[in-house]
């Protein structure tokens, strides 16, 4: 089977030349402005599909790492991603691009909300926006699951389903679930790799 049949989205363009600091700043500024209230959807689309700076698997792995770092996940992603491409300066450029535009907009909105926050029309608008944000989040979760589903790895799917049931359905504490899920997933991965190597 020829490699030409593979989708272009899966091939990152980092082999040529990584983006410059300004390009990183502008890319993350666009993400933050497009995804005001939920940047993950737009970050994945820009990094994986539009610029092809990462494959879908690399994005998932990097985002999973960012879950274990303190602070907001998408902010961690900007620092890790920018540092990976352009060192500390790249991390700072991506971080600044991600946070500066929303900070300026939120400051202006806070001033406006302090003055007009009791208006009924504004409350209805915010309720509609929250529904759209939930829909975007669900859409990106399904897109991030696609690489796992394509591999059809039953153990990975069982682990994913188990974590979802523990946190989403049984409402167990996140820390307790992670203390069990992380060693189990690392152990399973190590065992599978040893079997493949043998």
Give tens-digit pLDDT for 14-66.
Answer: 555 788 899 999 999 999 888 755 788 888 888 998 989 988 888 988 888 88
The whole-model pTM stands at: 0.59
Q: Are 82 and 91 in contact (CB under 8 A)?
A: yes
Q: Which residues does 141 contact at the CB level (< 8 Å), separation at least 6?
A: none
Q: Please determine, for residue 70, whether its predicted confidence score (pLDDT) is greater than 60.
A: yes
Q: Are 97 and 79 in contact (CB under 8 A)?
A: no
Quick one: which of 118, 53, 120, 107 has its CA closest to 80? 53
Q: Please determine, for residue 5, whether its predicted confidence score (pLDDT) is greater than 70.
A: no
How far is Cα of residue 9 from the mean position of the Cα atoms in its chain? 17
The dihedral sign for the CA sequence 145, 151, 155, 156: negative
Q: Please determine, for residue 3, whether its predicted confidence score (pLDDT) is greater than 50.
A: no
Q: Please determine, for residue 88, whether its predicted confidence score (pLDDT) is greater than 50.
A: yes
When comparing pLDDT for 129 and 12, which is higher?
Answer: 129
Q: Please determine, for residue 93, whether its predicted confidence score (pLDDT) is greater than 50.
A: yes
pLDDT for the residue numbered 13: 52
pLDDT for the residue numbered 197: 78
How far is Cα of residue 193 from the mean position of the Cα atoms in its chain? 26
Q: Identify the band that residue 91 occupies on the pLDDT scale cut at 50, 70 and 90.
A: very high
Task: Tell me the average pLDDT of the chain.
Answer: 82
Range 116-140 average pLDDT: 79
Q: Please determine, for residue 8, whether its predicted confidence score (pLDDT) is greater than 50.
A: no
How far is Cα 55 from Cα 43, in angstroms, rounded to an integer?
13
């Amino acid at each position: 089977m020829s490699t030409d049949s593979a989708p272009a989205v899966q091939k990152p363009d980092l082999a040529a030349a990584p983006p410059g600091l300004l390009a990183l700043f502008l890319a993350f500024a666009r993400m933050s402005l497009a995804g005001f209230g939920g940047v993950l959807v737009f970050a994945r689309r820009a990094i994986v599909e539009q610029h092809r700076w990462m494959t879908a698997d690399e994005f998932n792995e990097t985002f999973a790492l960012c879950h274990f770092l303190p602070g907001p996940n998408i902010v961690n992603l900007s620092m890790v991603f920018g540092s990976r491409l352009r060192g500390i300066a790249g991390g700072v450029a991506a971080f600044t691009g991600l946070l500066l535009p929303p900070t300026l907009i939120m400051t202006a909105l806070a001033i406006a909300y302090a003055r007009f926050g009791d208006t009924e029309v504004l409350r209805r608008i915010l309720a509609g926006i929250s529904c759209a944000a939930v829909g975007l989040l669900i859409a990106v979760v399904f897109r991030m699951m696609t690489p796992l589903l394509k591999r059809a790895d039953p153990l990975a799917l069982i682990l994913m389903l188990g974590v979802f049931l523990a946190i989403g359905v049984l409402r167990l504490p996140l820390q307790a679930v992670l203390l069990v899920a992380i060693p189990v997933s690392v152990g399973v991965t190590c065992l599978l790799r040893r079997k493949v190597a043998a």
